[in-house]
Chains A and B, each alone.
Chain A
Amino acid sequence: MAFGLKHLLGLEGVDREDIEEILNAADSFREVLDRPIKKVPTLRGVTVVNLFYEPSTRTRLSFELAEKRLSADLLNFSTSGSSVSKGETFKDTVRNIEAMKVDMIVMRHNCSGAPKFLTEFSSSQVINAGDGSHEHPTQALLDMMSIRQKYGKLDGLRVVIVGDVLHSRVARSNIWGLKTMGASVAVCGPTTLLPVEIEKMGVDVYYDINKALDGADVVNVLRLQLERQQAGLLPSLREYTNLFGITSARLRLLNKNHTILHPGPMNRGVEISSEVADADDSVILTQVTNGVAVRMAVLYLIKGGGAKEDE
């Protein structure tokens, strides 16, 4: 079996077999994290650069740990305190780093499409760690892994994505991935935070949270990006919480065997109540653990992947 992808830029257009292979591999890598020695020699001698043009804690630590667990060598690059602040162009920065002989680039950028642009002039294999409001494929993969762990499948599940879909790359990757895997997906949020024509992605659109949650299996609660709320998209946070906040009262509308996901960082008491976030069956921290396993799987499969393209 040959893994089809040379880069992971997004989940749009990625076929079911490749997603399944990543999720299966992630289940196997997950076991490594429970070993006394949490390290395997799989990517010995491979050099990975974590190129972060936007601040990130979780994703970056998760990628860094995944690379270390696979015995890869890694370089961390973030824009603060680098020559980017001296005016170096993106292309020059990457070319200089590549001249030091690296194999893979994990990139986060505030511009949608930046990783795609990178593949056009770079010889490295590229993994998108979030670009603008476009895609965040590894987050969606770890969400799918967490759902699959609970239900054993993704086919036929009803997943509701709640909140700021407009600015959310997590939402977009989730929609592409979940649809490919046979789940039915709905989005719910205030009109100002749902993109125009979102229904063209093949999702149901709700403006009433109670209708959206009715009979659903999984709720993926998006972070309300407070830093982006200056534009007057919301009258007030309190109104948002009243209309769209996920509270234990609202959980009763869901299927009994439900799952609540949150990509973090959480705004407690805004989009999700502490009671829901800290519930015994909460998988929010499981998501974080799965994130390391999913990123190990992606790094491993991408490294050996792309055979179809090369032939």
Chain B
Amino acid sequence: MTSSVTEVLDDKKVERALMRIAHEIIERNAGADDLVIIGIRTRGDHLADRIAEKISEVEGTEVDVGYMDITFYRDDVHSRLEQPEIHQTEILFPIDDKIVVLVDDVLFTGRTIRAALDQITDFGRPRAIQLAVLVDRGHRELPIKADYVGKNIPTSPDDEVVVTLKETDEHDSVKLHQVMRKSTAKSSKSKPSKKRK
């Protein structure tokens, strides 16, 4: 079994995708009133900061940004192989009657978003919750769909999508690590990796 790596988005393309998402958010909500952005750690937090900054530039109003860690709401506490590191949740403003835009880097099974939705419910009752992701790679296991997508990438379930951002990894990029299986081995499904994203 071998694998190949393709860069799907580079610095510029990530920047353009975020700019487009920011504009779409403003357009769909007719401005930035009552808008709050919440990024899912890790990586969604930095994307949330950048999207909020772009919205502020365009609209001239400050947008509240929060961050959440969804570890406490995961559905695999009893079966997980490795424990994820827990990060802080910081939502320091009321979200009642606000339009919450959730931001994450990669949308895959949808389980992270399910956990995030449950957590938001415990913080208040927003008027609406919308979802923005940098990459949608398909293979949903729950009825969840993104409202704003930077890039749709067709993948097979065993592939890995690796996002790096300049805040933590020096530069922005989205890379697809594809698993190339020999045609004879096609029928025997390989084990899904432990850390699927």
Closest chain B residue, CB of each to CB of A297: B86
Say whether A32 faces chain B, with CB atoms less than 8 Å apart.
Answer: yes
Say whether A14 faces chain B, with CB atoms less than 8 Å apart.
Answer: no
Q: Are B82 and A2 in contact (CB under 8 A)?
A: yes
- Checking B73, B81, B124 against A40 with a beta-carbon cut-off of 8 angstroms, the contacting residue is B73
Closest chain B residue, CB of each to CB of A43: B77
Q: Are B88 and A27 in contact (CB under 8 A)?
A: yes
Given contacts A40-B73, A42-B73, A304-B77, contact A31 B123 (CB under 8 A): no
Nearest CB on A from B169, distance (A):
19
Q: Are B78 and A45 in contact (CB under 8 A)?
A: yes
Q: Are B77 and A42 in contact (CB under 8 A)?
A: yes
Q: Are B77 and A35 in contact (CB under 8 A)?
A: no
Q: Are A28 and B122 in contact (CB under 8 A)?
A: no
Nearest CB on A from B87, distance (A):
7
Interface of A is mostly: loop
Q: Which of A24, A27, A28, A43 has the most CB of B within 10 A?
A: A28
Q: Are B83 and A35 in contact (CB under 8 A)?
A: no
Residues from chain A with Cβ under 8 Å of B191 in the complex: none
Say whether A116 faces chain B, with CB atoms less than 8 Å apart.
Answer: no
- Checking B72, B86, B88, B123 against A41 with a beta-carbon cut-off of 8 angstroms, the contacting residue is B72
Closest chain B residue, CB of each to CB of A3: B83
Residues from chain A with Cβ under 8 Å of B78 in the complex: 45
Q: Are A41 and B73 in contact (CB under 8 A)?
A: yes
Say whether B57 faces chain A, with CB atoms less than 8 Å apart.
Answer: no
- Checking A2, A27, A37 against B83 with a beta-carbon cut-off of 8 angstroms, the contacting residue is A2
Given contacts A40-B122, A41-B118, contact A304 B80 (CB under 8 A): yes
Q: Are A1 and B88 in contact (CB under 8 A)?
A: no
Interface residues on B, range: 20 to 34
Given contacts A31-B90, A45-B78, contact A39 B122 (CB under 8 A): yes
Say whether A109 faces chain B, with CB atoms less than 8 Å apart.
Answer: no
Say whether A303 faces chain B, with CB atoms less than 8 Å apart.
Answer: yes
Q: Are A28 and B83 in contact (CB under 8 A)?
A: no
Say whether A36 faces chain B, with CB atoms less than 8 Å apart.
Answer: yes
> In the complex, A37 Cα to B77 Cα: how many Å?
21
Residues from chain A with Cβ under 8 Å of B77 in the complex: 42-43, 303-304
Q: Are B118 and A28 in contact (CB under 8 A)?
A: no
Closest chain B residue, CB of each to CB of A30: B88
Say whether B45 faces chain A, with CB atoms less than 8 Å apart.
Answer: no
Say whether B69 faces chain A, with CB atoms less than 8 Å apart.
Answer: yes
Say whether A25 faces chain B, with CB atoms less than 8 Å apart.
Answer: yes
Q: Are B69 and A36 in contact (CB under 8 A)?
A: no
Residues from chain B with Cβ under 8 Å of A222 in the complex: none
Residues of B with Cβ closer than 8 Å to A? Answer: 69, 71-74, 77-78, 80-83, 85-90, 118-119, 122-124
A-B contact list, 21 entries, CB within 8 Å: A1-B85, A2-B82, A24-B85, A27-B88, A28-B69, A28-B71, A28-B86, A28-B89, A29-B72, A31-B89, A32-B72, A35-B122, A40-B72, A40-B119, A40-B122, A41-B72, A41-B118, A42-B71, A301-B83, A305-B83, A307-B82
